[in-house]
Structure 1
Amino acid sequence: MSEVQRIDDSHARFNLNVWRPILSRARASPRPIIGLIAGGVIVAGIEAALPLFVGRIVDEARTGSDAVLTPILIAYASMFVVFAAGVWLFIDCAGKLATTTAHLLRRDCFAKLQELEQAYFDVRPTGWLVSRLTSDCSKVSGLLPWCLLDFAWCTAIVIAVTVTMFVMDARLALWALTAVPVMVLLSAIFQRLLIASGRHARRISSAMTASYGEMLLGARTTKTLAREAQNLEEFQQLSTSMNFWAMRSAILTSFYVPCMTALAATAGALVLWKGTGDVLAAEGVTLGTLIAFMQFAALYAQPVQELSQRFADVLNASSAAERIQSLLATEAGIQDTARVMQPDSTRIEELRFEAVDFSYREGLPVLSNFSLTARRGMTIALVGATGGGKSTIVALASRFYDPVQGRITIDGVDLRDRPLAWFAARVGIVPQVAHLTAGSVRENIRYGRLDATDAEVEDAARRVRAHAFILSLERGYDSDVGEGGDRLSTGQRQLVALARAVLRDPEILVMDEATSSVDTATEQLVQSGVDEVLRGRIAFVVAHRLSTIRRADLILVIERGAIVEQGTHRELLAQRARYFELYTSQFAADRERAILHTADAQAEKTVASLVGNEGD
């Protein structure tokens, strides 16, 4: 079960603690927060005062020829100018706060992902992680300013309206507030339903994002296997579920808003019924006061509705906040401890595996009691069947993972007691599938050592025999490789990755099936350069083509996480055991392909000769 499928927060309870990382980053911008709250309070104060002015204008107008309206109307117009200024203030501050918070969240989330070990990424789809840095950060940072604004605005307007109504007429104030408890109850019922729908929709949205990522990364595989229809059907199921929950939320909202409006109208009707009687009975309630109370009653529904909506938004966004908080709170499984010591020497002379056990999943061991010693200048080749543990050994040597049992030492010191950055700077890796970033060939070779000169970049390319093909490109070293290197062939990408590793000049070099993606001719060309690169350092070579490791100092045959044979190429052939079987079977297959290739070439020449003779 994937991480996306495992997480279902549709029934999770609200927890304010998940918002602390977001709030702490928002506090880094105190001025926008102050401006936002100030703007909300100013707008609330004016909205609470407007009904009083309307009432005063009505009462003053009823006095007839003695009415003095000019000062009141000027003040009334001035309030709208201040109102507009308050709106501008909170919109400006909300934009700044949202932008700054999103920037800090994305920066810190990206930095955290850079710190985490390889095991974290093994169980999480790329699309799922991307959505944490994009949609989740945007959702919470975009919501936060408006929540702060509505909290300030609603609190101010509720207090101002309530106090004003009770000062003006306590009896009418009570009639105006009769609908408020019903509004609160209705909001609680609807928001619970809206929260459940929103969380279901967000969970499916994460699955859709992961599906997008897998589709884009595997577009070629989809085309090759003609799975377009099946992929569309699988995505359609997600899209249908998303549509169902989105429609459910829309329908609930379409009932909720009219109900709140109806309750506000009911409160206004009650005030009108009671206030009209008081006006007619001349009990001290003027027509202006009655109109002001009716506006107050209608105004009361707005903060209740806004707070309910914002609370629902916060609850809906809580899962996004929780995922961000979870990512930021994740402790790297591989990190420096208090025992870390700076090495006395910058050179690594020996790397040793001591009774190492390792498993990716508990109860499924990959390596058991594995021991190995590698010294400077040694090239150790790892061969064997797929799944035997070869790539795991070099991943442990690179410290992508730590052993479950046993230890790995550098010059007699536990690798976990050496600084992680110090060790990483001394390891170079050429993976089976070369990863290139969008940019030029020169930038990709320089990727592992940004201070390298152009001359050093080109020298590294020459050493792995990549210089000639690079010069054949349209712009040479400045040619764009495309996203993921898709403008280069697989073999060319591998050569660029080799050059990048050479430029880094590592003390430990790992080549994990590094020449498996190049053709035989290119492999022979590269091999001479690789032999030079391997000198003077600890080198691990995981090889499928056994012809590339004949000059290795030590060849290990790995099966089921254990060494079943070891020795040089000649020694292992002399034993006539497992390595002998692998080598001879591969040699026979290579020889058969060579014979067929030669036969095809001869046949083509014969046909050409016959055609040429007929033409004569």
Structure 2
Amino acid sequence: MNYYEEEGYSSFNIRPWLKLKRFFKPYTGKLIGLTIMMFITALMDLSIPLFQKYAVDNFIAKSSLEGLKVFVGAYGAVLITMALAVTIFIRLAIVVEMHIGMDLRKEIFEHLQNLSLSYYNTTPVGYILARTLSDTNKIGSMIAWGLVDVFWSLAYVTGAFVAMLMLNVRLTLIVGLVVPIMAVITVYFQNKILLTSREMRKVNSKMTGAFNEGITGAKTSKTLVIEDKNLLEFKDISKALEGSAVNLARLNALYIPIIVFFGSVLTALVLARGGILAMDGIIQIGTLSAFLSYAVNIFEPVQQLARTFAEIISLQANIERVTDLLEKEPLIKDREDVIEVYGDNINPKRENWEEIKGEIEFKNVTFKYPDGDEEVLKNFNLYIPAGTNVAIVGETGAGKSTLVNLACRFYEPTEGQILIDGKDYRERSQLWLHSNIGYVLQTPHLFSGTIKDNIRYGNLVASDEDIMEAARIVSLDTIINKFEKGYDTHVGEGGDRLSTGEKQLISIARAILANPK
């Protein structure tokens, strides 16, 4: 899979949206409230030209102020109602946007905790972050604002045409001829703009990756003297991004004047034909004024509909990726009968856990990686008695890391068994096994926070004294005491404020604190 490619839909498809139905359901009431507020706003917007018509025909044309107080009161009530509807809409939209995004992120993060190591070995971190952060924000925003904009635009366009038909059928025919042309032009250009924007996002993702590699690999680049090569690659990506940006600007530069031109033509046609009808006494000036307002104001919702539909179609690919992530099954899963006895990662049944002795046996183990064709191990046998120290030695690629990953059940044998205390480890939960393992990575990873925080990850309920004892065992305490803040020293992102050796010692202290068997 090319994680930089942004797959897209060319038409609306309800299937991706139905997959998110369970995230929308808790906010059905608020979404209905949003829709009602938008319809109220549309109705109030539609009433403004009618007030304009009444004012021209009754106050200006007749040079009379009769009924002005009632008019002002009614007009003020409309404005207040519209202001209240917009206020309620904005508050509801913000709540819906934030909560749907938060619910998606929470479920994605929880799901990621349960995915197997193989997923992280094959999926770029940037891809996961984009799904968890960027895509969830876009989905929440579209549900709260975009779909409601569609309802408002449809309501306004429908109401405006009904009002124009009631005012004058002949003038409405003129609008009915021009608006569809503008709609077709808008849809055409919005699709072009959508494709160009998608290309820009794809190139921008590559640029982000290049930035990331340039920063994280700065030391290696300087050592290998490849700064010129990196700069050349970055220039190529920048040039591609510039080309996409220029194409987008050209499309907008062409689209906007065309729409303005047709809008001006429509205004001129309505004024010309309406002026003749007014001079012939067929319609009043107020009617022409109101009709012209509808004809001009109808442009924006038509364009809004085209823009929003284009965004909805574009977002379908993001929804597919989010739902695909949520539907991704862990490669390693506990059986239902095992979960019933031992519990799962969220609700462990520790009272049923046996005390581990530490005897390990690889029994006729054959293994190949899920995306590999060659068998890394074949009919492998190894017996390690409890309490024994074993060093696994071999050349690069011999399978040392694979053995450790299999023993930790990050992967499972393709054939054969791995026994812990004489029992296939698949008959116990992963959490039971991992809770009895002390694991120190070859490349240690530290979390943002203090030295004390990072050691405590080995045992979240450990006291400060336990943490200090674990540090003392690996002679880390003498190093920590040299820091001004001691155990409260912040390690930086990924532990970048510490040396590799210091990070390694913290990882060992963390494993000791876990008290593995």
TM-score (norm 1): 0.76
Map of 1:123-162 to 2, 5 A cutoff? 123-162=122-161
- Counterpart of 1:393 in structure 2 is 403
Higher relative contact order (CA 8 A, sep 6+): 2
Deviation at 1:501, TM superposition (A): 0.4
- Counterpart of 1:116 in structure 2 is 115
Three-state SS of the structure 2 residue aligned to 1:379 is: coil
> Residues 401-435 of structure 1: CA distance to partner in whole angstroms, max 9, x if unpaired?
12222232333433233212222212220111111
Counterparts of 1:415 and 1:12 in 2: how far apart (Å)? Answer: 48
Three-state SS of the structure 1 residue aligned to 2:398 is: coil
Counterparts of 1:214 and 1:110 in 2: how far apart (Å)? Answer: 25
Whether the 8 Å CA contact 2:9–2:317 is kept in 1: the answer is no
Identity within the alignment, %: 35
Whether the 8 Å CA contact 1:408–1:415 is kept in 2: the answer is yes
- Counterpart of 1:460 in structure 2 is 470
Deviation at 1:375, TM superposition (A): 2.7
Map of 1:22-33 to 2, 5 A cutoff? 22=20, 24-30=22-28, 32-33=30-31
**Alignment-mate amino acid for residue 202 of structure 2:** R
Three-state SS of the structure 2 residue aligned to 1:409 is: strand
1:347 pairs with 330, 344, 356, which one?
356
Pair 1:208–1:337, CA change in 2 (3 A): farther
- Counterpart of 1:217 in structure 2 is 216
Counterparts of 2:464 and 2:493 in 1: how far apart (Å)? Answer: 22
Deviation at 1:86, TM superposition (A): 2.5
Answering whether residue 357 of structure 2 is matched by residue 359 of structure 1, we say no
Counterparts of 1:377 and 1:397 in 2: how far apart (Å)? Answer: 16
Pair 1:12–1:275, CA change in 2 (3 A): closer
Deviation at 1:107, TM superposition (A): 1.9
Pair 1:112–1:184, CA change in 2 (3 A): same
Counterparts of 2:301 and 2:288 in 1: how far apart (Å)? Answer: 21
> Residues 369-390 of structure 1: CA distance to partner in whole angstroms, max 9, x if unpaired?
2122223112221001111110
Pair 1:364–1:11, CA change in 2 (3 A): farther
- Counterpart of 1:261 in structure 2 is 260
- Counterpart of 1:50 in structure 2 is 48
Counterparts of 2:409 and 2:242 in 1: how far apart (Å)? Answer: 45
- Counterpart of 1:40 in structure 2 is 38
Unmatched segments (≥5 aa) in structure 2? 343-351
Answering whether residue 188 of structure 2 is matched by residue 179 of structure 1, we say no
* Structure with bigger gyration radius: 1
Counterparts of 2:478 and 2:153 in 1: how far apart (Å)? Answer: 70
- Counterpart of 1:438 in structure 2 is 448
Counterparts of 1:318 and 1:277 in 2: how far apart (Å)? Answer: 49
Map of 1:190-209 to 2, 5 A cutoff? 190-209=189-208
Pair 1:309–1:125, CA change in 2 (3 A): same
Three-state SS of the structure 2 residue aligned to 1:114 is: helix
Pair 1:415–1:246, CA change in 2 (3 A): farther
- Counterpart of 1:78 in structure 2 is 77
> Residues 352-404 of structure 1: CA distance to partner in whole angstroms, max 9, x if unpaired?
22222222333232222212222311222100111111011001111111222
- Counterpart of 1:273 in structure 2 is 272
Counterparts of 2:87 and 2:450 in 1: how far apart (Å)? Answer: 45
**Alignment-mate amino acid for residue 362 of structure 2:** F
> Residues 171-212 of structure 1: CA distance to partner in whole angstroms, max 9, x if unpaired?
332332222321232223222212221222222233233333
Whether the 8 Å CA contact 1:179–1:267 is kept in 2: the answer is yes
Counterparts of 1:68 and 1:394 in 2: how far apart (Å)? Answer: 89
TM-score (norm 2): 0.90
- Counterpart of 1:106 in structure 2 is 105
Whether the 8 Å CA contact 1:41–1:153 is kept in 2: the answer is yes
Three-state SS of the structure 1 residue aligned to 2:475 is: coil
- Counterpart of 1:238 in structure 2 is 237
Pair 1:158–1:13, CA change in 2 (3 A): closer
Counterparts of 1:384 and 1:369 in 2: how far apart (Å)? Answer: 18
Deviation at 1:306, TM superposition (A): 0.3
Pair 1:3–1:425, CA change in 2 (3 A): farther
User: What do you get for the CA RMSD once the two structures are aligned?
Assistant: 2.4
Counterparts of 2:72 and 2:261 in 1: how far apart (Å)? Answer: 32
Counterparts of 2:337 and 2:139 in 1: how far apart (Å)? Answer: 39
Residues paired across the two proteins, number = 504
1:428 pairs with 426, 438, 441, which one?
438
Counterparts of 1:423 and 1:55 in 2: how far apart (Å)? Answer: 79
Map of 1:519-530 to 2, 5 A cutoff? none
Pair 1:96–1:491, CA change in 2 (3 A): same
1:416 pairs with 421, 426, 429, which one?
426
- Counterpart of 1:337 in structure 2 is 335
Pair 1:220–1:128, CA change in 2 (3 A): farther
Question: Which structure features the higher share of strand residues?
Answer: 1
- Counterpart of 1:290 in structure 2 is 288
1:326 pairs with 312, 324, 333, which one?
324
Counterparts of 1:288 and 1:478 in 2: how far apart (Å)? Answer: 75
**Alignment-mate amino acid for residue 477 of structure 1:** Y
Counterparts of 2:9 and 2:144 in 1: how far apart (Å)? Answer: 26
Deviation at 1:30, TM superposition (A): 4.2
Answering whether residue 509 of structure 2 is matched by residue 499 of structure 1, we say yes
Pair 1:417–1:265, CA change in 2 (3 A): farther
Pair 1:67–1:378, CA change in 2 (3 A): same
**Alignment-mate amino acid for residue 477 of structure 2:** H
Map of 1:531-550 to 2, 5 A cutoff? none
Counterparts of 2:399 and 2:488 in 1: how far apart (Å)? Answer: 39
1:488 pairs with 466, 475, 498, which one?
498
- Counterpart of 1:302 in structure 2 is 300
Counterparts of 1:64 and 1:344 in 2: how far apart (Å)? Answer: 92
